[in-house]
Amino acid sequence: MQPTELSALLEQLISTWENEVVEFKQADEDYKTDKIGEYFSALSNEANLRGWKVPG
């Protein structure tokens, strides 16, 4: 993916903030680090259902 394409994708993600593919988390003292795998799995599954592909 070219830098201009990455920039456009980032702008698109920022404009919608959180959705099925992008989720922001703040790690504080109550953050359950043992749940991080579940978060990644859920987001990955949703992205897959929507047909999103990871650049690379």
> Is the pLDDT at 6 greater than 80, yes or no?
yes
> Is the pLDDT at 56 greater than 60, yes or no?
no
SS3 content of the chain, % helix, strand, coil (to 5): 55, 0, 45
pLDDT digits (tens, 9 = 90+) for 22-55: 777 666 777 777 877 887 788 778 777 777 666 6
At 4 the pLDDT is 94
Span 3-16, average pLDDT: 86
Here the contacts of 47-51 (C-beta below 8 Å, separation 24 or greater) are: 47/20, 47/21, 49/20, 50/20, 50/21
pLDDT digits (tens, 9 = 90+) for 36-45: 788 778 877 8
